[in-house]
Each structure stands twice: as structure tokens, then as C-alpha cells.
Amino acid sequence: MMSVNSHSAGAWLSIDLDAICDNWRLLKSLVASGNCAAVVKADAYGLGARPVADALYRAGCRHFFVAHLGEGIALRSGLAPDAVVYVMHGIPPGAEPECLAHGLVPVLNSCQQIAAWRELACDRGEILAAVVQVDSGMARLGLSDAELQQLSQDASAFQGIKVSHVMSHLACADDPWHPANRSQLARFEAARRLLPTAAATLANSSGIFLGADYHFDLARPGAALYGVAPVPGQPNPMKAVVRLQAKVIQTRTVLAGEGVGYSFSWIAPTDSRIATVSVGYADGYLRSLSGRGSAWLGDQELPLVGRVSMDTITVDVSALLEHAVQPGMLLDLIAPQHTVDAVAQQAGTIGYEMLTALGKRYHRRYLQAGETHPV
């Protein structure tokens, strides 16, 4: 692990744990059942599964979803026994004893995964908990209609398995008018009737905003916890969580007609002052922001010029007074008023990818108990 403190790091990433908890409380208050999990896969969307889950546990969250078995093992070890960690990809063949030994609840996605879990239950003479996922139309994970039929005709299919929840995932929840939402809902309800009686979980962040029909017994938001807008194009009710600031390393004057950065993709139209800033695509500051992104000093927007390099970007600071920008100063790249969604849009992607791309070289600060983002 490299050593990154506030002096040695090129850029700072501040993560507001209070805002994540406030977002979780807001989502929980919107969910009809009042039960709200937290999806903390991919290291809590790049923000740090351990500190995020610990903070959410303190806020009252008891259900945590990860994607991989390995993520589950890492998360489970630090959480109190009354927290439940669900592994959405289920169990790789042969790893069932490991899943059990670590006290994880698998999401079983196929007849094969169900059979392997059932066999372990029989071998142990124990009842083992599981979630069963059905494919209600996304065609990614979960039991197909044919598998559901097959299972519903086999009285011993779930012997030794206590199904805590039946689960599915929505493909188009971010578009409230998409007809797939209703059709997935209908298929989900039909599938439940073919499975052991259990609680149900369907809604991701956007699904919560489709209304109470989609809430069932447990909601599973991820992105909205981290400040991403759950309904694109609508005012974002979530609190901003992330602030990314990068250090100015050097400033220079570039004369009209001179090129800046790789391939000279930007040629100074007039004499310009350029600041070189210590963040690049190796830090998840996406290369597609070349010539399109912005940095900010307070409210002053400063356009990125030229290519995003591996470790640096170049910013036109001509709009500021000559000595306003000095080496060591921090410029904002993502901030509460310059949101992750807006930056993602400039990069031609979504907030989810922007967050999960955020790199490991940052000086990371976790704010809690009323701390505010540094100014």
C-alpha cells in the first residue's frame, strides 16, 4: 500500500459518512415497509465498504448486499452478528462450505446453486438461510421461467433451505414510464407464487421512486446512498457525499498558437495561463473528460484544456488574477455544487461509473459526526 497523507497525495477525496447515513434514512422513510438495506458491492461503489457499512450499521442498517463471495467475507468479519450480509452472485461451485463458514447468506440464482446449497444443508443436517433470485425480465441473473416450473414440481427442491427473501432486479427503473417496470413487477409476483413463502425484495435506488407497489419487504438501494440522482432528469433529493480536490503542481503562461499536452489537442487561442493539476485517468479521472471537464476555484469554473494524462490534467486559469492560483492549492473536480452526475455526464458516462472508477492514490478523508467538507 502506498503512503498517501494530505501532504504527499496529489489529490484528496472526502467522503461524507453522515450524508450517506442521511440518504439511507431518507430512502428508508420512503419505503412502505420501512425496511431498507444498503448495497455496498464494489467497495461501496468505490467509497470504502468498511467505513460505509460501519457508519450505516450505527445508523440502524442491518442488511448489506455485496456482489462477490470475497467481498462478503471481507465485510462480514468486521460487522456485528446481527447484521446480515447477502452475496448477490451466489456461490461459485465448490465454495459453499466457505460461504457457510463465514456466515454469509447467498443469493441463489440457478437450480444448480440451489441444489449445491441444499446438499450442504443435508450433509450438515442444518437449515441454511438463502435468498432466491428470479429473472423477471432483465435476463442477467436469477431463475428462468423454465427453472421455476421445474422447481415448483419438486417438493424437496428447497429441503434444508430457509428462503428469507425472493428477489429480482429491475432493468429500467430509472425510467418511470418504461413499460418493463410493470411487466417485471407482474412476473415477479407470479414467480413468488411458485416459490416457498418468503419476504420479497425488488427495488434498487430508482425502484424506490416507482412507488409502493415496488417496495415489498426490503429495498436494496446502492447509488442513491452515495449521492447519485435516483431519477435522472428530476431534482436530486439525495445529499452529496463526495468531494474530489486535486492539487496544482505548476503554473505557466502559454503563448497564442502553442499546444498543451499530448498530441497538442488544445492550441492556445490567445496567451493563456495554464495550471497543471495532479490528477489523471490513473485516478479514475476519466480520459473522456479531455477538453470537456472543468475544475473550480470556489464558484469560478476553469475549463480543462488538452488531454487528460495518466497523472495530470491541464486547466486554463486565465480567468483568475495572475497570482490567484499557486502550487499546492486545491481545485475542486467533484463537489456538492459540482455533482458526480454532472461530471459523469461531461465524461459521457453515469455517476455509478464515475464513483467506482475513483482511484486508490487519493488522500481519503471520511467525514462524520458533523464534520464538513474542507474549504
Ligand X SMILES: *Cc1c(COP(=O)(O)O)cnc(C)c1O
Instruction: Name the minimum Å distance from CB 294 to ligand X.
Output: 26
Residue with Cβ nearer ligand X (39 or 304) = 39
Residue with cell 494524462: 309
Q: Could you give the count of Cα atoms lying within 13 Å of 115 in the half-sphere of its Cβ? A: 9
Instruction: Name the minimum Å distance from CB 306 to ligand X.
Output: 33
Active site residue 262: yes
Residue with cell 432483465: 138
The residues that bridge with 250 in the sheet, in sequence order, are: 276
Give the x-and-dash track for 248-287 against ligand X (CB under 6 A): ----------------------------------------
Residue with Cβ nearer ligand X (206 or 290) = 206
Total residues contacting ligand X by CB under 6 A comes to 12
Task: Quote the CA–CA distance of 352 and 222 in Å, as a whole number.
Answer: 9
Catalytic residue among 45, 226, 247, 262: 262
Catalytic residue among 41, 226, 247, 281: 41
Instruction: Name the minimum Å distance from CB 366 to ligand X.
Output: 20
Instruction: Name the minimum Å distance from CB 141 to ligand X.
Output: 7
Active site residue 41: yes
**Residue 76 near residue 85 (C-beta atoms within 8 A):** yes
Assign 105 to helix, strand or coil: strand
Could you tell me which residues come within 8 angstroms of residue 7 by beta carbon, excluding any fewer than 6 positions away? none
Could you tell me which residues come within 8 angstroms of residue 371 by beta carbon, excluding any fewer than 6 positions away? 18
Q: Could you give the count of Cα atoms lying within 13 Å of 27 in the half-sphere of its Cβ? A: 41
Using CB under 6 A as the binding rule, the residues of this chain from 284 to 303 that contact ligand X are: none
Give the number of other Cβ atoms within 10 Å of residue 300's Cβ.
Answer: 14
Residue with Cβ nearer ligand X (24 or 158) = 24
39 binds ligand X (CB under 6 A): yes
Instruction: Name the minimum Å distance from CB 88 to ligand X.
Output: 5
Q: What is the dihedral of CA 317, 277, 336, 20, to 10 degrees?
A: 180
**Residue 295 near residue 302 (C-beta atoms within 8 A):** yes
Assign 213 to helix, strand or coil: helix
Quickly list H helices, the chain.
17-30, 41-45, 49-59, 69-76, 96-101, 111-124, 145-152, 179-193, 205-208, 340-347, 351-357
Measuring CA to CA, which residue among 369, 370, 373, 364 is closest to residue 44?
A: 364
Quickly list H helices, 177-296.
179-193, 205-208
Instruction: Name the minimum Å distance from CB 220 to ligand X.
Output: 4
Residue with Cβ nearer ligand X (23 or 309) = 23
Residue with Cβ nearer ligand X (27 or 343) = 27
17: left (phi over 0), alpha (psi -120 to 50) or beta: alpha
Query: The dihedral of CA 287, 292, 293, 294: what is its sign?
Result: positive
Residue with Cβ nearer ligand X (88 or 151) = 88
Instruction: Name the minimum Å distance from CB 42 to ligand X.
Output: 8
* Residue with the shortest CB distance to ligand X: 222
Residue with Cβ nearer ligand X (52 or 330) = 52
Give the x-and-dash track for 198-237 against ligand X (CB under 6 A): ------xxx-------------xxxxx-------------
Instruction: Name the minimum Å distance from CB 187 to ligand X.
Output: 15
Residue with Cβ nearer ligand X (36 or 224) = 224
Give the x-and-dash track for 41-70 against ligand X (CB under 6 A): x-----------------------------
Cell numbers placing 276: 497543471
Task: Quote the CA–CA distance of 224 and 228 in Å, as a whole number.
Answer: 5
Give the x-and-dash track for 70-89 against ligand X (CB under 6 A): ------------------x-
Which residues of the shown chain bind ligand X in the complex (CB under 6 A)? 39, 41, 88, 169, 204-206, 220-224
Q: Which positions are annotated as active-site residues? A: 41, 262
